[in-house]
Chains A and B, each alone.
Chain A
Amino acid sequence: MATIVTIIVFILFLGAILTGGYNKELMARFRSHWLWDWITTVDHKKIGILYALGGGFFFIFGGIEALLMRMQLFYPNNDFIVGRTFNELLSMHGTTMIFFVAMPLLFALMNVAVPLQIGARDVAFPFLNALGFWLFFAGGLLMNLSWLFGNAPDAGWTNYVPIAANEYSAGTGIDYYVLGLQISGIGTLIGGINFLVTIINMRAPGMSFLRMPLFTWTSFVASALILFGFPPLTAGLFLIMFERLFGANFFDVAAGGNPIIWQHLFWIFGHPEVYIVILPAFGVMSEVISTFSKKRLFGYTSMVFATILIGFLGFMVWAHHMFTVGMGPVANSIFAIATMAIAVPTGIKVFNWLFTMWGGKIRFTTAMLYAVGFIPTFVMGGVTGVMLASPPADYQYHDSYFVVAHFHYVLIGGTVFGVLAGLYYWWPKMFGYTLNEKIGKWNFWLFFIGFHMTFFIQHFIGLFGMPRRVFTYQPEDGLTLINQISTYGAFLMAVASILLVVNIVYSYRHRVPAGNDPWDGRTLEWTISSPAPFYNFAQLPRVRALDAFWHEKMNGRKEMEPAEPLGPIHMPNDTHLPFVMTLGFFVSGLGFVFRSNEVGVLGLIIVILTMFVRSFEKDHGYHVETDEIEKTEKGANA
């Protein structure tokens, strides 16, 4: 029965794809709706906003999951949420925050800023860029649907086998994890390739590699890490999927399998992933600190090479997540030394930031507060990272709350502070008005204090013998008070997050046009109007130095010298195909989750058909004529 229904739906789909809609009037109504505009957009700035919305949406889920866990841990032997449900919360919290909050929020900033910073009119693959966003969103949605249908994944964000095998995780929870991540992972890979090609091929005249703003550089290296880091995850997810759905035996010891294979594949992906989410944040910090100190970045070249080195070393150290697995002292030692080596380029960065501020004129805007607050926080996360690199010491830290504290220092103190700094910084470029500074400062201080209250103390919770991922502790463990302090801190962070929403609403209601350059910026994005026109640059700028805009300002010019005469601009057409293709993936994912291989395959057929439709479509885009550009430019400057 289910198969017949899906086949009917499938035929309707086919009809819709091939005929371009069966009811012309309905389609016309659709097309004029604002939602259609957003669904079909290929404009990188709009896609950036979509990524931000998507990341914010999943942040609500991840945040509530975190608060529920902290509530359970308020008392020893509490029975609020125990057993499998708690494991589901911790798994979904981790997976959501990494894949569906941190990644999309960084992609949001990259989409908004990178093409503008390199003086490009568009990204290399606008179609794929849109597809990347929709795949991320579909993957996140699919995974979170698990709360509604049956059970959520319960094997941690690392999804170690055998607890992720059918035998130990009954139901379809893990399948949501596997397919949700697979779908969003394809999207991420596409996004990474898009940014690599954009940055390599589409820089404005004069924008050499060593004149690129540091955020562009870090996005570039992060994209390269995505390119080589995500395929191991893809491979690993395939193996788990085959094992759970089709009876393969990669990990089942009884059939000759080996569960450690998954751990290697996961961490060969997982460690670069850490740098994927931290490097763009480093970039944001570099931009913000430089701008609000009115100084060029100290040691720009060494910053660039430190970034590349971190990216490279990021692939050599995965096994430090596995010191206790029993790899033997030789392997442990090698990975320990490699891991310690990463501290050196990271240290370079921290000192360069400090010396960028040295001798500057520091303005404490909210963006700058987040950047400044990031330094001690990230240094804390960094030094505990070096501590963790020592295998014998790690035998004590490993899988305890010490590790939880460490990676929250890096991921919140690094990535989240970076994203928030970036949002406050680029908000005017995205929407044309700044966020309120007064609420912003409250937002920062509450978040900052709440964060340290929650996580500083967790180092000690771990050293006092509390393993991570436990739903309770015993009264005689003597851990009650510190756990309670941590919980209070988590709620303080929740209040701060609500303040951010308040700020967004308030600032929208009281918006004043921010002008092209509200922060006295240094890079190309501040040379064009806010929000940026859809074609970005009426004339491509000629870049003459690092901090191109600042260079022109210092030489008494108000704007960039154009590198070309004003002429028609070629732009890509909007298209609904990325959305349709994503729908295909989503249907396929749901099909496999419900163990209906027919539906799974049908979904994939939709995907392939859409690919062919796209390939056969003659879509060469359109040209914006000169007088329209002139009108837009005048309107923006009026």
Chain B
Amino acid sequence: MSTAELEHAKTSAGLPPHPERATMEGRNKVLGFWLFLGAETVLFACLFGTYLALKGSTLDGPTTQELYKIPMVAAATIILLTSSLTSVLGVLGLHQNNYKKLMFWFGVTVLLGAAFLGLEIYEFVEYVHEGHTFTSSAFGSAFYTLVGTHGAHVLFGITWITALMIQARRRGINLDTAPKFFVASLYWHFVDVVWVFIFTVVYLMGKVG
């Protein structure tokens, strides 16, 4: 099979305009995932609440004003927001039944996600050097639990999307893989939205006071 033929096989003709909702399995998956995101929202709300209750308990460690470095976090925010956009472009590729576009934009999404994660790890290492650790105070525990749980979500997201891309390489876009990509992009947006809240509630409000 030539490469051209292979590409053609991957974007099988005759897919409906919204392949993720074309089957009962697909519809169930999308709805179920929305509901799951509802549960995740509550989970993060609880962690936010815990953080807000404990952010003043810094003991001898640095306070939020001393600690947070807004420029670096802002850069991370921009990276993650961009990745949300690229995942939208990926889904656009899915809807246009355009295999190449799908793979390219989801690939970019994964790279941006990895860059965000790298920055976050660097940030954490910095903090630990400044005496702000998981066990140093109630503030430390709450901070790392909230931001770390988000980081774990990003990690899971990039692993997941990577796995889906491997699947798509083998099977192309079809009624089975389409809902998976769609749902993964939903997840990615959710992770992004949570980060917007973390950036506002934790970093910006932490800097203000």
Closest Cβ–Cβ distance, residue B1 to chain A (whole Å): 20
Is A232 on the interface with B (CB-CB < 8 A)?
yes
Is A258 on the interface with B (CB-CB < 8 A)?
yes
Is B65 on the interface with A (CB-CB < 8 A)?
no
Q: Are A238 and B53 in contact (CB under 8 A)?
A: no
The answer to whether residues A256 and B134 also contact, given A193-B36, A228-B38 and a CB cut-off of 8 A, is no
Closest Cβ–Cβ distance, residue B109 to chain A (whole Å): 18
Which single residue of chain B is at the shortest CB-CB distance from A128?
Answer: B32
Closest Cβ–Cβ distance, residue B25 to chain A (whole Å): 9
The answer to whether residues A227 and B32 also contact, given A235-B47, A256-B57 and a CB cut-off of 8 A, is no
In the complex, number of A-B residue pairs with CB atoms less than 8 Å apart: 110
Task: For A193, give its contact among B32, B43, B149 (CB under 8 Å).
Answer: B32
Q: Are B39 and A236 in contact (CB under 8 A)?
A: no
Of A164-172, A194-202, A362-370, A529-537, the stretch lying at the interface with chain B is: A194-202
Is B142 on the interface with A (CB-CB < 8 A)?
yes
Which residues on A sit within 8 Å (CB–CB) of B176? 618, 620
Tell me, in angstroms, the Cα distance from A195 to B95 when the chains sit together. Answer: 29
Of A246-254, A322-330, A331-339, A476-484, the stretch lying at the interface with chain B is: A246-254
Within 8 A of B (CB), among A203-244: 227-228, 230-232, 234-236, 238-239, 242-243
Q: List 12 A-B contacts (CB under 8 A).
A: A124-B31, A193-B36, A201-B31, A202-B24, A231-B40, A231-B46, A246-B135, A256-B54, A256-B56, A256-B58, A258-B53, A615-B163
Tell me, in angstroms, the Cα distance from A189 to B31 when the chains sit together. Answer: 15
Q: Are B141 and A242 in contact (CB under 8 A)?
A: yes
Q: Are B50 and A239 in contact (CB under 8 A)?
A: yes
Within 8 A of A (CB), among B138-189: 138-142, 145, 149, 163-164, 167, 176, 180
Closest Cβ–Cβ distance, residue A575 to chain B (whole Å): 15
Which residues on B sit within 8 Å (CB–CB) of A248? 134-135, 141, 145
Tell me, in angstroms, the Cα distance from A231 to B31 when the chains sit together. Answer: 18
A263-290 near B? 1/0 per residue, CB < 8 Å: 0110010000000000000000000000
Is B13 on the interface with A (CB-CB < 8 A)?
no
Closest Cβ–Cβ distance, residue B194 to chain A (whole Å): 13
Q: Are A616 and B167 in contact (CB under 8 A)?
A: yes
B59-76 near A? 1/0 per residue, CB < 8 Å: 100000000000000000
Q: Which residues does B use to contact A, with CB under 8 Å?
A: 24, 27-28, 31-32, 35-36, 38-40, 42-43, 46-47, 49-50, 53-54, 56-59, 134-135, 137-142, 145, 149, 163-164, 167, 176, 180
Q: Are A256 and B139 in contact (CB under 8 A)?
A: yes
The answer to whether residues A247 and B135 also contact, given A194-B32, A200-B31, A238-B145 and a CB cut-off of 8 A, is yes
Most central of A201, A243, A620 by chain B CB within 10 Å: A201
Which residues on B sit within 8 Å (CB–CB) of A268? 46
Q: Is the interface of B mostly helix, strand, loop or mixed?
A: helix
Most central of B39, B134, B135, B142 by chain A CB within 10 Å: B39
Q: Are B137 and A256 in contact (CB under 8 A)?
A: yes
Tell me, in angstroms, the Cα distance from A248 to B136 when the chains sit together. Answer: 8
Which single residue of chain A is at the shortest CB-CB distance from B48?
Answer: A235
Closest Cβ–Cβ distance, residue B183 to chain A (whole Å): 11
New A-B pairs, 20, CB < 8 Å, besides A235-B43, A248-B145, A256-B139 = A193-B35, A193-B36, A193-B39, A196-B35, A197-B28, A228-B38, A228-B39, A246-B134, A246-B135, A248-B134, A249-B138, A249-B141, A250-B142, A252-B138, A256-B57, A256-B138, A261-B50, A265-B50, A268-B46, A620-B176
Which single residue of chain A is at the shortest CB-CB distance from B134?
Answer: A248
Closest Cβ–Cβ distance, residue A600 to chain B (whole Å): 15
Is A612 on the interface with B (CB-CB < 8 A)?
yes
Q: Are A232 and B163 in contact (CB under 8 A)?
A: no
Which residues on A sit within 8 Å (CB–CB) of B36? 193
Is A255 on the interface with B (CB-CB < 8 A)?
yes
Is A594 on the interface with B (CB-CB < 8 A)?
no
Which residues on A sit within 8 Å (CB–CB) of B53? 258, 261
8 interchain residue pairs of minimum CB distance? A256-B57, A235-B46, A248-B141, A256-B138, A231-B42, A231-B43, A257-B138, A124-B28
Is A160 on the interface with B (CB-CB < 8 A)?
no
Q: Are A255 and B57 in contact (CB under 8 A)?
A: yes
Is A125 on the interface with B (CB-CB < 8 A)?
yes
Task: For A242, give its contact among B31, B32, B38, B145 (CB under 8 Å).
Answer: B145
Closest Cβ–Cβ distance, residue A228 to chain B (whole Å): 5
Number of A residues whose C-beta is below 8 Å from B?
41
Which residues on B sit within 8 Å (CB–CB) of A258? 53-54, 57, 138
Closest Cβ–Cβ distance, residue B164 to chain A (whole Å): 8
Task: For B32, give its contact among A197, A230, A252 (CB under 8 Å).
Answer: A197
Tell me, in angstroms, the Cα distance from A615 to B137 when the chains sit together. Answer: 41
Which single residue of chain A is at the shortest CB-CB distance from B56?
Answer: A256
Tell me, in angstroms, the Cα distance from A262 to B164 when the chains sit together. Answer: 38
Tell me, in angstroms, the Cα distance from A349 to B135 when the chains sit together. Answer: 50
Closest Cβ–Cβ distance, residue B108 to chain A (whole Å): 22
Tell me, in angstroms, the Cα distance from A82 to B56 when the chains sit together. Answer: 41
Tell me, in angstroms, the Cα distance from A248 to B148 when the chains sit together. Answer: 13
Q: Are A249 and B46 in contact (CB under 8 A)?
A: no
Which residues on A sit within 8 Å (CB–CB) of B49? 261, 264
Which residues on A sit within 8 Å (CB–CB) of B142? 250
Q: Are B42 and A615 in contact (CB under 8 A)?
A: no
Tell me, in angstroms, the Cα distance from A612 to B56 when the chains sit together. Answer: 41
Tell me, in angstroms, the Cα distance from A151 to B108 when the chains sit together. Answer: 51
Tell me, in angstroms, the Cα distance from A257 to B59 when the chains sit together. Answer: 10
Which residues on A sit within 8 Å (CB–CB) of B137? 249, 255-256
Tell me, in angstroms, the Cα distance from A228 to B24 when the chains sit together. Answer: 25
Most central of B42, B57, B142, B180 by chain A CB within 10 Å: B42
Tell me, in angstroms, the Cα distance from A248 to B56 when the chains sit together. Answer: 16
Closest Cβ–Cβ distance, residue A104 to chain B (whole Å): 20
Task: For A227, give its contact among B38, B50, B180 (CB under 8 Å).
Answer: B38
Closest Cβ–Cβ distance, residue A564 to chain B (whole Å): 14
Which single residue of chain B is at the shortest CB-CB distance from A223?
Answer: B35
Task: For A250, give its contact among B35, B42, B43, B141 (CB under 8 Å).
Answer: B141
Tell me, in angstroms, the Cα distance from A618 to B58 when the chains sit together. Answer: 52
Tell me, in angstroms, the Cα distance from A194 to B180 when the chains sit together. Answer: 17
Closest Cβ–Cβ distance, residue B14 to chain A (whole Å): 18
Closest Cβ–Cβ distance, residue A172 to chain B (whole Å): 20
Closest Cβ–Cβ distance, residue B20 to chain A (whole Å): 14
The answer to whether residues A615 and B180 also contact, given A197-B28, A239-B50, A258-B53 and a CB cut-off of 8 A, is yes
Which residues on A sit within 8 Å (CB–CB) of B42? 228, 231-232
Q: Are A231 and B39 in contact (CB under 8 A)?
A: yes
Which residues on A sit within 8 Å (CB–CB) of B43? 231-232, 234-235
Which single residue of chain B is at the shortest CB-CB distance from A122?
Answer: B24
Closest Cβ–Cβ distance, residue B139 to chain A (whole Å): 7
Most central of A243, A248, A264 by chain B CB within 10 Å: A248
Tell me, in angstroms, the Cα distance from A618 to B43 when the chains sit together. Answer: 32
Q: Are A255 and B35 in contact (CB under 8 A)?
A: no
